[in-house]
Structures are given as C-alpha cells and as structure tokens.
Structure 1
Amino acid sequence: MMDWRAERDSALLALEREKRPALRAEAADQLFQLASEVPGRGPDFVDALPRLLVDKQPEVRRAGVRLATAVLPEDEQPATLLPRLRDDEWMVRLEATGRLADLYRQDLRGALASMLEDPMPEVRFEAARGIAGLGHAAGLEVLLEALDADLLRFRALGALGQLKDARALPAVKRLFHRWLLPAFDKTQAAGVLAELGDPEGATYLLQRAQKKKWNPDRALAVELCGAVKAPGALEQLKAILDDPKDECRGAAARGLGRLGDERALPWLLALLDERSADEDFRLDAADALWRLGLPEGRERVRASISTFTTPEGRMELEELVQEEP
C-alpha cells in the first residue's frame, strides 16, 4: 500500500504533467482528501495550495478552495478564500462562498451579502445560508425561493430554522402540506414550523418519532424533538434511549443534548458507560453530555476516552473535549 506522502507526491506530479482535465481534477481532489483524512497533516500540503488556487482549470481551483479549509487555521482562511469570490468560474465562487459561510464569522457578513447578487442561484443560496447562520435575514427571499429546488430544499429549511424569522412561516407551512413531499423534507419542515411557534410541527415530530414502524426519517424526527423543545420530548427521548433494541438511541441522545434539560444527565451517563452498546451511540451520548455543559458530565466524558475500542472513537472524543466550553 502506498504511503500517503507518496500519494501526495504522485498527485502533485499528475497536476504538473497530466494534460487530461478529468485526471488533473481527480489529482487535485485527492490532495484535499489526503489532507483531510488525519488531523495534523495540513502543514505537509500548504506548499501545494498556491499552485491549485491559480490553476487554469476551474475544477482544480475549486479543489484548492477546499484544500485551503483543510490546511489553514480558521483565522487564516478568509484571506485566502475572499479573493475567490471574484473568480470567473461560478463553481469556484460557489465553493468559496460555502466555505466562508461555514466559518460563521460576523466580519464576513458583508462579503457574503455581496454574493446575494451573484448570477448563479446556487451561489446566492450559499451566501443566504451563511448570513442566516449569523442571525441576519438579508437572504430570506433567496432561502424561500430555494424551497422549490429539490437539491437545496433540505438545507434551505435548516437555514430558516436557524434564522427563526416569522415571515417564513406561510411558505414553510405551504411546503409542509405539499402533496408527496419527500419524508426528510417534510420532517425538516416540521422542525422549522416548531421553531416558528406552530404547534403542528412539534406534534408531527413526536408522532414521527414513535416506534410504530420503520421510516427513514425517524432519527431526524427524534433529534429534532429535542432541538425544538417539543412538549413531551423529554419523556419520549428517554423511552427511546432506554430501549437497547431501538436503532434511534443515538438520535435520542443527541436530542437530549439539544433539549438542554439537566434531568437527562444520569440517563446519558448510563449510555456512555454501557460498554455493550454500539460505539456510535456512546459517542452520541458523549456529545450530548458535552453540549449540556455540566461539570460532572464533561469530566466523565474526558475519563471515558480510554474505554473506546476504536482509534476513530478515541480521536472523536479527544477533538470533542478540546472544544471551547
């Protein structure tokens, strides 16, 4: 098996010598994947970044934007990403706008607002999503328009749920009642309704969360019950968490973390300590305990790292406990 450094060098060589656009784009994407696989590899890819960002091929420049977010500290990323908002190719502007939106920095609101005028609707959407995440409604109309786009609808609803602007309620309600709306979109819409104070949304989520029959969006409904603080969510989520045969135990743990009720502390600790439980469920319990922010819960999360059997599980917890309180 080839060492990752050898793979990096091979990808860089392909970018330099290869003439076929598809293979050059594949090599650029491989650099991003290699840099992202393991924390700490970033410095070994920094030297490649300027080369990708000025490449004549748009797909390579787009991969360069992605690579920037993998190898640069967050506070250094805007200086590299902002000039990409003026790239001639829309796919590069799209990537840069989305990556800047994901930084959730108030000082970037002006730059994101400028992209609301971009000729491409996908770019305008990324800008609107980012502005909504900062608590501003400048992109509200763009988000409402995106409710009619199959590929953007789910994320548009997520942004509207973050924004909590009551002006979105009529459009979201119409969408919720649309005939043959995909299950995940309907559940996401119910969450937004609940966030905007419409009780129909919370009622739907609680019904969808019940273990009557399998449905693909049940885990989403379970977690959203906690996120929107649906009446009766505490009891519903505890029942799911306590059932060792329920496949949504992890979603229930995440929901309890987002609900923020301190009464969930002993229940989440019990799942964290349940060695026979699926490791993903235990990780969800750890995440929920960290989100609750109680000293006892956080201390138990720190102490539990060594009890996880997979390197991936231990790494995820180590990254969790390094987050700011």
Structure 2
Amino acid sequence: MTDWRGERDRALLALEREKHPGARAEAADLLFHLAAEDASRAPELSEALSRLLSDKQVAVRRTGVGMATAVLPTEELPGFLAIRLADEESLVRLEATGRLADLARPDCRGTLAQALEDPVFEVRFEAARGMAALKHPAGLEILVEALEEELLRFRALGALAELGDDRALPAVRRLFHRLLLPAFDRTQAAGVLAKLGDPDGAQWLLKRTVRRRFNWAQDRALAVELCGELKLPGALERLHAIVSDPKDDCRGAAARGLGRLGDPKALPWLLSLLDEPGVREDYRLDAAEGLWVLGIPEGRDRVRAVLPVFSPEARAELSELIQEIP
C-alpha cells in the first residue's frame, strides 16, 4: 500500500525548500494526484490545499485551484471558484473558470456570464463552454471564434454540439469542408453537423466507420461512437457488424456506441462481447459500459455480477460509471 502521507509530507517539504519552478510544480501536481486518487483523504489534505493557494508561483496556485475540486465539499465549490475569477493571474482565472464550467450547475450561470467578459480569450472560452453545458447561448460567438484556434477547436466543437444551437451551422460547415483539416477535427465537426440536422455530417460519420484494409483512420473509433450517440439511421447495423468482428479494433467503440444508441436489440450483442472467452479486458470494460448505459435491467445485473473479476483499475472506472448513471 502506498504511503500517501509520506508522499504528501515530501511534496510539502519540496515546496518549502525547492527553488526550481519545475520541481515545485511537480510537487504541487503530486498533492493534487493524492487528493484526486481517494476522496477520503480530503480532511488530511486541507492544510496542503491552503499551502498551494498561498504560494507565490502561479503554476502552483493554479494546481491548488484544481485540487480544491477534490478536497472541498461540493456545496463550497461555486463560491470558492468565483473568488478565484478575480485573481490577477490569467492562468489562475483560467483554471477556476474551467472547473466552474465542469460543474455544469445552473446556479453558476451568473458567475460564468461575468467570465465571458474576461480580457483573456482562453478564459472567455472556458466560460462559454460552461454556458453551453447549461444550454445557454450567451457564449455562442466565442465558441464559433474558437473554431479558428487549433488548440481549442476540438473542445469548441464538443461544446457547440452540447449547446445544439443551429446558428452555429454556417461556421461548422465551413470548418468541415476546409482543406487539410486534421481528421479528428473533421469527424468531430461532422458530429456537430449531424446533431444540428445537416445530412452531410451523418453521411461522413457512417462512411468513416467502414474498415479499410490499407487505410487505417485514427478517427474511426470516434466516428463509430458518434454514430451511436447521435442515433443515426443505419447505426444499429453498422455497430453490430463492428462489435461482432473479432478482428475489428473498434469493437470497444462500437460497444459504447450501442449503449448510447439505446436500442434493446443490442443487449445480446453486448452480453456476448462481455462473456467472450479470451477477449481483451478493455473490450469487456467497453461492453460493460455499453450495457450499463443501455439501461436494461438484465444487462445491468450482469455488469454487477462481473464487476469483481475486473482488474482494480477497470473496476474503479466501472464503479465510477455506475455511480454517475444510477
């Protein structure tokens, strides 16, 4: 068993004595990891949290803001993060806004709306992403602008899909048809188009699910899962073919997609993959996820029954899913 308290104390000592910024940032990251790894440690890590938040190094304080989401009670987070939105350092404001967006709480809408006026675009983007999660279009123009930012584009597309505002269609269409666009971005854009009712997006996704012998597409798994999530016509048959093929490396994506597709016909196919002799554990985990999301009692009972046979890492991941989707 890991001596996490010893690791905590060594990290705190490094913050006191170490002068190299990289080493101090690593110590802060370790404290964050210790908190995120086990929620029961929160009471004993509160002092470490205070230490991070008062540090002179911006990167350490930023990590402290992230660590707060693992240490503080849920009801305290909106107020805590709102205070950090006034920090003079943009990286701290960026972390606080992103964490606030991830909460997806309606009572945070006013605070996020204020962050839409931040002088730094990346902070405004995180606020817009949070507003999209609340189905509010206030940050629509910021999300559209972020489509031109390579490092933000994929998440901007995800936020636009979540928002579901068809006013974004012209911008997403232009992006989708852009030459030399990275494959993942084009497939994500196709998903947004499909969700907003553009048939070109659905056609692209279904075409991208086809397995080509000499043309392996890195974004194929994303296309496979999106077909199920968006419930595209023809998706059931395509995902069935993929999940049933022992030689197809997108079986896991197809299993997750079938769960999100929500068709009861998928139940025996997912059970078959879950129980397939010698199948890789990650495929079995994907099948279990698909069964749980599908929501049919027989499938969920089977997931509960096989939970103990998974590795500790896979069991922890599946247990978290079970808690998230009761």
TM range (shorter): over 0.9
Displacement after TM superposition at 1:220 (Å): 0.4
Q: Which moves more between the two structures, 154-163 or 11-20? A: 11-20
SS at match of 2:40: coil
Displacement after TM superposition at 1:320 (Å): 2.6
Partner of 1:117: 117
Q: Structure 1 134/62 Cα, relative in aligned 2: closer, same or farther at 3 Å?
A: same
Displacement after TM superposition at 1:92 (Å): 0.3
Question: 2:41 and 2:246 mapped to 1: Cα distance?
Answer: 39
Q: Structure 1 73/284 Cα, relative in aligned 2: closer, same or farther at 3 Å?
A: farther
SS at match of 2:181: coil
Displacement after TM superposition at 1:210 (Å): 0.6
Displacement after TM superposition at 1:115 (Å): 0.5
Question: Is residue 2:50 matched to residue 1:50?
Answer: yes
State whether residues 302 and 321 of structure 1, in contact with CA within 8 Å, keep that contact through their aligned partners in structure 2.
Answer: no
SS at match of 1:118: coil
Q: Structure 1 261/294 Cα, relative in aligned 2: closer, same or farther at 3 Å?
A: same
Letter in 2 for 1:317: L
Question: 1:215 and 1:80 mapped to 2: Cα distance?
Answer: 43
Alignment of 1:109-148 (within 5 A): 109-148=109-148
Letter in 2 for 1:150: E
Question: 2:308 and 2:18 mapped to 1: Cα distance?
Answer: 46
Give 4+ residue runs of structure 1 displaced > 6 Å after superposition.
none
State whether residues 116 and 128 of structure 1, in contact with CA within 8 Å, keep that contact through their aligned partners in structure 2.
Answer: yes
State whether residues 221 and 250 of structure 2, in contact with CA within 8 Å, keep that contact through their aligned partners in structure 1.
Answer: yes
Alignment of 1:182-201 (within 5 A): 182-201=182-201
Alignment of 1:37-116 (within 5 A): 37-116=37-116
Question: 1:80 and 1:319 mapped to 2: Cα distance?
Answer: 25
Q: Which moves more between the two structures, 229-238 or 279-288? A: 279-288
Displacement after TM superposition at 1:291 (Å): 1.2
Partner of 2:179: 179
Displacement after TM superposition at 1:268 (Å): 1.1
Partner of 1:23: 23
Question: 1:255 and 1:218 mapped to 2: Cα distance?
Answer: 12
Partner of 1:282: 284
Partner of 1:170: 170
Partner of 1:312: 313
Deviations 1:178-217 (A, max 9, x none): 0100000000000000000001101000111111131110
Question: What is the number of residues matched between the two proteins?
Answer: 324
Question: Is residue 2:324 matched to residue 1:323?
Answer: yes
Question: 1:241 and 1:75 mapped to 2: Cα distance?
Answer: 42
Letter in 1 for 2:222: L
SS at match of 1:42: helix
Structure 1: tracts of 5 or more residues without a match: none
User: Scaled by the length of structure 1, what TM-score is found?
Assistant: 0.95
User: Scaled by the length of structure 2, what TM-score is found?
Assistant: 0.95
Displacement after TM superposition at 1:322 (Å): 2.7
Letter in 1 for 2:243: L
Question: 2:40 and 2:275 mapped to 1: Cα distance?
Answer: 30
Structure 2: tracts of 5 or more residues without a match: none
Displacement after TM superposition at 1:248 (Å): 0.4
Displacement after TM superposition at 1:38 (Å): 4.2
Displacement after TM superposition at 1:313 (Å): 1.5
SS at match of 2:138: coil
Question: 1:195 and 1:175 mapped to 2: Cα distance?
Answer: 16
Question: Is residue 2:260 matched to residue 1:258?
Answer: yes
Partner of 2:304: 302
SS at match of 2:299: helix
SS at match of 1:86: coil
Q: 1:235 aligns with which of 234, 237, 245?
A: 237
Letter in 2 for 1:243: D
Displacement after TM superposition at 1:39 (Å): 4.9
State whether residues 293 and 325 of structure 2, in contact with CA within 8 Å, keep that contact through their aligned partners in structure 1.
Answer: no
Displacement after TM superposition at 1:319 (Å): 2.4
Partner of 1:244: 246
Letter in 1 for 2:180: L
Partner of 2:221: 219
